[in-house]
Chains A and B, each alone.
Chain A
Amino acid sequence: EPEVTQTPSHQVTQMGQEVILRCVPISNHLYFYWYRQILGQKVEFLVSFYNNEISEKSEIFDDQFSVERPDGSNFTLKIRSTKLEDSAMYFCASSVEGLSSGNTIYFGEGSWLTVV
């Protein structure tokens, strides 16, 4: 079964450093997402991406965050200057379509980011 893949699975970084999390969405999917989950808390939406541009973003997704689809397969999340509170599991997700009924969002296994 096709799946969303993410790298790295774990990353430890120092506060203030830049981090890039990488994702390969399911190949025929057109909508891409990043979510995060701080330990013990709920899954929170960060950003959605369609047709090479951001379609929606949350208030969490401030100027330190950016997303990019550098080629036909990868989808990346960059955090420019990490803070301690950015420590979380970051999930990439994708879906075939955005708004049609029954459209399901499929999640990758996550990238666990620890900022020290």
Chain B
Amino acid sequence: GQNIDQPTEMTATEGAIVQINCTYQTSGFNGLFWYQQHAGEAPTFLSYNVLDGLEEKGRFSSFLSRSKGYSYLLLKELQMKDSASYLCAVRDDGDYKLSFGAGTTVTVRA
């Protein structure tokens, strides 16, 4: 199984930057995913990393270090609509499924 840790809550100001860290322990590794989930809604895909380094997608970037079992999601130019839960998920080598962390609730304040 996996052990996936991320902070429970973070608060930031509109226009600022927030970095959400995720550490994981897996027996194998076949990719790390970040999803956004608004309250009462489905998780929606944000980013995917399988190799070390930074993936940039507009205001969102995700970084992976496989040797450290570490990833972060960087949200730039925060907007009020970015207030949501951000889920770190890992796929084990040989698995079909994703295993999710508990999520980080980000609150953006004016």
Residues of A within 8 A of B (CB): 31, 33, 41-45, 48, 50, 55-56, 58, 89, 91, 98-99, 101-110
**Size of chain B's interface in residues, with CB distance under 8 A?**
24
Residues of B within 8 A of A (CB): 30-31, 33, 37, 40-45, 48, 50, 87, 89, 94-103
In the bound complex, CA of A107 to CA of B41 (Å): 10
For the residues of B in contact with A, the DSSP-based class is loop
In the bound complex, CA of A58 to CA of B92 (Å): 14
A–B complex contacts, Cβ < 8 Å, 21 sampled: A43-B37, A43-B100, A45-B97, A45-B99, A45-B100, A50-B96, A56-B95, A56-B97, A58-B97, A91-B43, A98-B96, A99-B30, A99-B96, A101-B50, A102-B31, A105-B33, A105-B45, A106-B45, A107-B42, A108-B42, A110-B42
User: Shortest CB–CB separation between residue B32 and chain A, in angstroms?
Assistant: 12
A to B contact number (C-beta, < 8 Å): 58
User: Shortest CB–CB separation between residue A29 and chain B, in angstroms?
Assistant: 12
In the bound complex, CA of A109 to CA of B48 (Å): 21
Report whether B97 and A48 are in contact in the complex, using a CB–CB cutoff of 8 Å.
yes
Q: Kindly identify which residue among A41, A105, A109 contacts B98, using a CB–CB cutoff of 8 Å.
A: A105
Report whether A104 and B45 are in contact in the complex, using a CB–CB cutoff of 8 Å.
yes
Known: A31-B96, A50-B96. A42 touches B42 (CB 8 A): no
User: Shortest CB–CB separation between residue B72 and chain A, in angstroms?
Assistant: 19
User: Shortest CB–CB separation between residue A34 and chain B, in angstroms?
Assistant: 10
Chain A residues near B31 (CB-CB < 8 A)? 101-103
